[in-house]
Amino acid sequence: MKTNRRNFLKTLGAFTALTIIPRQVLGNGYIAPSDQLTKGIIGTGNMGRGHLKYAGTRLVAVCDVDKKHLELGKNLVTDKIAAYHDFRDLIMDKNVDIVHIATPPHWHGIMSVEAAKAGKDIWCEKPMTRTIGEGKRVMEAVKQYGNMFRLNTWFRFKDNFYGLGTPVQPLKKLVQSGMLGWPLKVTISKHTGFDWKFFWVGKEYLEPQPIPEELDYDMWLGPAPYKPYNSHRVHSTFRGYWDYDGGGLGDMGQHYIDPVQYLLGKDHTSPVKVEVDAPQQHPDAIGVWRSITYTYDDGCQIVLWGGDYGNPDTPYISGPKGNVYKNFVCDIPDWEKKLADYPEPEAQVTDFIESVKTRKTFALNEQNGFRSATIVNMGLVALRLNRTLHFDPVKLEFINDEAANCLVDQPMRSPWNI
């Protein structure tokens, strides 16, 4: 009798109630008869353990270079699951459909590219990557290998957008209606409901400490430059150091900026200028800043105010014809009635499991996620150099600034590369 895919699936049907068959067995775009996808998570610290449960998936593998974290990860479920020390072993595990990357950002680029090459779909924590160059390579790899990619910030399509008292969709509808005019300025500050986590700063003088027995510090560092171990460099406080993240801006930036990129219709471009007002930064430890201003080629601006800086009376969105304030207050007369006549924003795929099953691009993916990550990373480069920078959004490089471009593609410690 001739065997085809349909007969093969019927043969599997007898035992699929007890067995989860990974998508790779059935071919790209096919889901196991159980209709359940499998996932593995790399990094089982606080972030990894707190963002695991999403419907339609089953956890089958965890990975961490800290033995204590790995044990906590194994205990996330009652079933016996695979536990790995090396992320490459999890990525190559044929039982894993989705790789969830919850490591410090200096690993995001390498792990995303390797997962893409292995045919896995990818769920990555923010920021997407620590540098602009790494983000570009992730985009290229996902396109080449046909993966589904999700960046784990959701405010462009779900929940109230921090202190603004509204989801983003009504704001998007108001902006695209043209009622506010053009160009627009968006001001993100404590006064409009945003907290940059200014406690994510580094310590300028770290005494070397003994490496804990449970931690593979060399593997934790990976592509980052070698520096003597100190507990403040790793785990919950790593964000305060340039080698691994970008302080409060790196931690929270994509949460706040990605919806603005979407609101302004800038998902396929980047600002052409970034200006900073900040004290001189330490070469190792990240400090605070007062403001960062981005300007697009059409005059639109995004202004970030740090800490308590900024004017509490400044609108969240300001335009030539009207303004929007915190709690979704607009100063255009009868604006709600007028807005009702305009079309709704285009629908998005907002369920990543649906995206994986249907192979339809997720709402926040490797392309638009790269652009909002680039805004964050442009700001971090300007902070490190403490000067205004001009950027080419097509070539993805700074204009006439060699030092800035050295931070676009930063060297990795051997043997790691992307």
To the nearest whole percent, how much of the chain has pLDDT over 90? 83
The β-bridge relationship of strands 317-318 and 57-63 is unpaired
What Rg do the C-alpha atoms of the chain give, in angstroms? 22
- Reading phi first (left if > 0) and then psi (alpha if -120 to 50, else beta), residue 29 is in left
Distance between alpha carbon 165 and the CA centroid of its chain, in Å?
23
Residue with tokens 């790899």: 141
The pLDDT tens digits of the residues spanning 67-122 come to: 999 999 998 888 899 999 999 999 999 999 999 999 999 999 999 999 999 999 99
Q: State mean pLDDT over 54-74.
A: 93
The pLDDT tens digits of the residues spanning 250-288 come to: 999 999 999 999 999 999 999 999 999 999 999 999 999
One-character DSSP codes across 254-288: HHHHHHHHHHTT-TT---SEEEEE-PPPPSSB---
Q: How far is CA 359 from CA 346, 355, 362, in A?
A: 18, 5, 9
List the Cα angle 274/286/283 in 5-degree steps: 90
To the nearest whole percent, how much of the chain has pLDDT over 70? 91
Choose among 175, 166, 388, 163: nearest CA to 266.
175
What pLDDT does 52 receive? 66
DSSP-assigned beta bridge partners for residue 83: 62
Q: Residues spanned by CATH 3.40.50.720 within the chain?
A: 31-152
Give residues with Cβ within 8 angstroms of 84, minimum separation 6. Answer: 61, 62, 63, 90, 93
Q: Residues spanned by CATH 3.30.360.10 within the chain?
A: 160-202+232-408
Residue 194 has pLDDT above 70, yes or no: yes
Residue 28 has pLDDT above 60, yes or no: no
* Superfamily in which the 31-152 domain is placed by CATH: NAD(P)-binding Rossmann-like Domain (3.40.50.720)
CA atoms within 13 A on the CB side of 129: 29
Q: Give the whole-angstrom CA distance, residue 73 versus residue 43.
A: 8
The pLDDT tens digits of the residues spanning 355-400 come to: 999 999 999 999 999 999 999 999 999 999 999 999 999 999 999 9
Encoded tokens for 208? 């070397």
Give residues with Cβ within 8 angstroms of 57, minimum separation 6. Answer: 36, 37, 38, 39, 97, 98, 353
Taking all residues of the chain, what is their mean pLDDT, rounded to a whole number?
91
Q: What band does 31 get if pLDDT is binned at 50, 70 and 90?
A: low
What pLDDT does 192 receive? 87
Residue with tokens 């595990």: 93
We find that the CATH architecture of domain 160-202+232-408 is: 2-Layer Sandwich (3.30)
pTM of the model: 0.91
Q: State mean pLDDT over 37-65.
A: 87
The pLDDT tens digits of the residues spanning 124-139 come to: 999 999 999 999 999 9
Q: What band does 233 get if pLDDT is binned at 50, 70 and 90?
A: very high
What pLDDT does 163 receive? 79
Distance between alpha carbon 392 and the CA centroid of its chain, in Å?
22
One-character DSSP codes across 330-384: E-STTHHHHHTTSPPPPP----HHHHHHHTPPPSS-HHHHHHHHHHHHHHHHHHH
Q: Give the whole-angstrom CA distance, residue 246 versus residue 255.
A: 14
